[in-house]
């Protein structure tokens, strides 16, 4: 099986967490005999070749980070340049990941992606969903590998099954939400420690209003 992978992150390849995820996933693909070609949308010089590959191939994966709860605008801009009808049928699948851990905050983006293939004349090959990727590029290599290694197994599985619509891929997301006690503790830490630190930063920079001040609203 030959797969076209498109990195939809606006962050340059060298610093892109999505790229590191793709490298691990592709290792798994190759272990199971599949081949791939990769395009990174952060480099606009690759857009023409990415569009040609999208049109000429029958198995495409778009890998993307969650940006502001949904799809990065650079990827939307690229999608806008694709034809809505194809001469060759194709399956379009997605790897969607995000900084924060909990699965449920990626579900809106997933819903958008589920509706997308039909608009581009493709069938839907599922969406691999996982959070917790903020620190891949800033971690020590062995810690970064701990975060990206699980994608290798998912690459092997995709090469075998040809889809993310599998029980294993669904399980890969991990917890939808932290347990309530942990959420309570994180909330308290944010309120009492993290926010206070940001307040001090802001005061140091000369800010005179609280950080939760809402401009253009009656704050009295």
Ligand X SMILES: Cc1cc2nc3c(=O)[nH]c(=O)nc-3n(C[C@H](O)[C@H](O)[C@H](O)COP(=O)(O)O)c2cc1C
Between 17 and 93, CB nearer to ligand X: 17
SS (H, E, C) the chain: CEEEEEECCCCCHHHCHHHHHHHHHHHHHHHCCCEEEEEECCCHHHHHHHHHHHHHCCEEEEEEECECCECCHHHHHHHCCCCCCCCCCCEEEEEEECCCCCHHHHHHHHHHHHHHHHHCCCEEEEEEEECCCCCCCCCCHHHHHHHHCHHHHHHHHHHHHCCCCCHHHHHHCCCCCCCHHHHHHHHHHHHHHHHHHHHHHHHHCCCCCCCCCCCCCCCC
Which residues, in sequence order, are bridge partners of residue 129? 96
State how beta strands 59-65 and 35-40 pair. unpaired
Between 18 and 173, CB nearer to ligand X: 18
Cβ at position 212, least distance to ligand X in Å: 19
Of residues 144-203, which lie at the interface with ligand X (CB under 6 A)? none
Between 34 and 98, CB nearer to ligand X: 98
Cβ at position 127, least distance to ligand X in Å: 15
Cβ at position 8, least distance to ligand X in Å: 9
Q: Can you tell me which of 134, 150, 161, 166 binds ligand X, judged by CB under 6 A? A: 134
Q: Can you tell me which of 9, 34, 59, 173 binds ligand X, judged by CB under 6 A? A: 9
- Binding-site size for ligand X (CB under 6 A) equals 17
- Gap between the Cα atoms of 183 and 36, Å rounded: 40
| 85-104 footprint of ligand X as x/- string (CB under 6 A) | -------------xxx----
Report the half-sphere exposure of 8 (CA within 13 A, side-chain side). 25
Q: Can you tell me which of 16, 34, 93, 152 binds ligand X, judged by CB under 6 A? A: 16
| 60-89 footprint of ligand X as x/- string (CB under 6 A) | -----xxxxx--------------------
Cβ at position 102, least distance to ligand X in Å: 9
**Binding to ligand X by residue 17, rule CB under 6 A?**
yes
Between 36 and 67, CB nearer to ligand X: 67
List interacting residues with ligand X (CB under 6 A): 9, 11, 16-18, 65-69, 98-100, 105, 131, 133-134
């Amino acid at each position: 099986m030959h797969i076209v992978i498109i990195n939809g992150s606006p962050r340059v390849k060298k610093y892109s967490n999505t790229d590191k995820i793709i490298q691990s996933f592709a290792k798994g693909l190759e272990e199971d005999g599949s081949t791939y070609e990769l395009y990174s949308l952060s480099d606009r010089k690759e857009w023409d070749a990415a569009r040609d590959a999208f049109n000429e191939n029958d198995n495409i994966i778009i890998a993307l980070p969650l940006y502001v709860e949904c799809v990065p605008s650079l990827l939307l801009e690229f999608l806008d340049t694709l034809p809505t009808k194809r001469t060759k049928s194709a399956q379009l699948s997605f790897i969607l990941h995000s900084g924060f851990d909990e699965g449920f905050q990626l579900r809106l983006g997933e819903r958008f992606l589920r509706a997308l293939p039909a608009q581009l004349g493709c069938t839907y090959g599922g969406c691999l969903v996982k959070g917790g990727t903020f620190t891949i590029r800033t971690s020590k290599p062995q810690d970064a590998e701990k975060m990206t290694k699980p994608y290798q197994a998912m690459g092997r599985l995709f090469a075998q099954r040809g889809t993310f619509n599998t029980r294993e891929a669904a399980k890969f997301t991990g917890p939808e939400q932290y347990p309530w006690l942990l959420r309570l503790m994180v909330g308290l830490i944010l309120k009492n420690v993290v926010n206070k630190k940001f307040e001090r930063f802001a005061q140091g920079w000369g800010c005179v209003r609280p950080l939760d001040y809402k401009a253009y609203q009656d704050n009295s």
